[in-house]
Amino acid sequence: MNQKTWPPTKSNSDGPRRFTAFPFIRKQTHLQNRPSENPFFNHSKKITPTTPSSSSNSSCSSSSSNQYCYNQDFSQLPHDIIFKIAATFSLSNVRASSLVCKSWCDALRPLRESMVFLRWGKRFKHGRGGVKHNLSKALDSFLKGAARGSTLAMVDAGLLYWEMGKREEGIGLYRKAAELGDPAGQCNLGISLLQVNPLEPEEAVKWLYKASVAGHVRAQYQLALTLHKGHGLKRNLQETAKWYLRAAEGGYVRAMYNTALCYSVGEGLMQSHELAKKWMKRAADRGHSKAQLEHGLSLSSDGERMQAMVYLELAARAGEAAAHPVKNVILQQMSTFSRDHAMFLANSWRTLPSSH
């Protein structure tokens, strides 16, 4: 493989260093000069600067005076620690991290290679980039990327295994990615465990919760759904509504619809018809057919027949049979011009982007 290496440094050791690393924290002298910037500074005690011994060689030792070591920097981190930190990184983050210093560049070489295999795996999976659709080659590429430590490749390989019916292999890769802190791996592992063993949801909820705290909107929705349905757990409507709302705010359409229902009936949230309408419209504008039906009925009851007709037409096209009788009643009350305009608006309608 043709690998682009780090540019060579100057052979003259007296010349300027080409690579530098950022310090972990500012030097102690800065804190001494500006004690007010340190919220833990005790003005009643005088800080005596200490000089680390040469034999310590940048290692920190704890003492009764709680001294800190300031001469460490990022370049001194062990390669395995750097590798674990960056295991969940995307290609752009891996590239940026490789520029921190030469030590990081060397440590992250396997991850840069895994990004190449990940890209080829996606090309083979979707038949893009001038290659034909080939799931076996896609899986092989994902596994090579996973072997080099990328959690993104682990998740994609696990998904292919799951779709092939090899659930154990898929769960194994999801678990490996989840343990390395990948939110998508944690979410997929939680969902997979629920499907395999729905009567024992404790471990699944644990992983869904970790992914939810990390901001994964699908995990937030699945966690709320699991808590809402019970699945062997005690129902917690306040916690359920909280995670529905979090996922809705993150752009997850199904969570928007469920959040609207929570506000409408006051389940886990304070009842608010105004907020219920707001979230129902957001879900409808992003293509949720049941939300389009509910929003259309709400508009019809408010006397806004033109807009109601548009949403009911969209719901009917999406397969919501309950939209047809209401739509037909509204059509009989509209002029020919209004009907044509409503159909034009429905035909011109475009779904707003979402996380779903």
Hey, where are the domains in the chain? 75-181, 190-286, 288-355
Give strand pairing partners of 23: 73
Cβ atoms of 257 and 287 within 8 Å: the answer is: no
Say which residues have a Cβ less than 8 Å from residue 151's Cβ, sequence separation at least 6.
87, 88, 176, 177, 180, 181, 182, 184, 185
pLDDT at site 235 = 77
256-293 pLDDT tens trace: 999 999 999 999 999 999 999 999 999 999 999 999 99
Topology given in CATH for the domain delimited by 190-286: 1.25.40
pLDDT at site 197 = 87
Span of 43-57, 61-75, 135-149, 247-261 with lowest mean pLDDT: 43-57
Give the pair of three-digit tokens for residue 248: 């809705």
Alpha carbons 63 and 220: distance in angstroms, whole number: 44
> 80 pLDDT band (50/70/90 cuts)?
confident
Specify the higher pLDDT residue, 77 or 133.
133
Give the pair of three-digit tokens for residue 305: 């027949």
pLDDT at site 213 = 96
Highest mean predicted confidence (pLDDT) among 10-14, 58-62, 97-101, 313-317: 313-317
Cβ atoms of 91 and 81 within 8 Å: the answer is: no
Cβ atoms of 248 and 279 within 8 Å: the answer is: yes
- Strand, coil or helix: 287: coil
Do 75-181 and 190-286 fold alike per CATH? yes
Q: Which CATH number fits domain 75-181: 1.10.4190.10, 1.10.357.10, 1.25.40.10, 3.40.50.300?
A: 1.25.40.10
pLDDT at 46 over 60: no
Average pLDDT over residues 234-240: 85
pTM over 0.85: no
Alpha carbons 146 and 150: distance in angstroms, whole number: 5
Average pLDDT in the chain: 82
pLDDT at 303 over 60: yes
Q: Which residue has the tokens 């060689």?
A: 57
DSSP letter assigned to residue 49: P
- Strand, coil or helix: 73: strand
Nearest in space to 253 (alpha carbons), one of 278, 225, 221: 221
173-184 pLDDT tens trace: 999 999 999 999
Task: Give DSSP secondary structure letters for 205-263.
Answer: HHHHHHHHHTT-HHHHHHHHHHHHH-TTSPP-HHHHHHHHHHHHHTT-HHHHHHHHHHH
Residues in the chain: 356
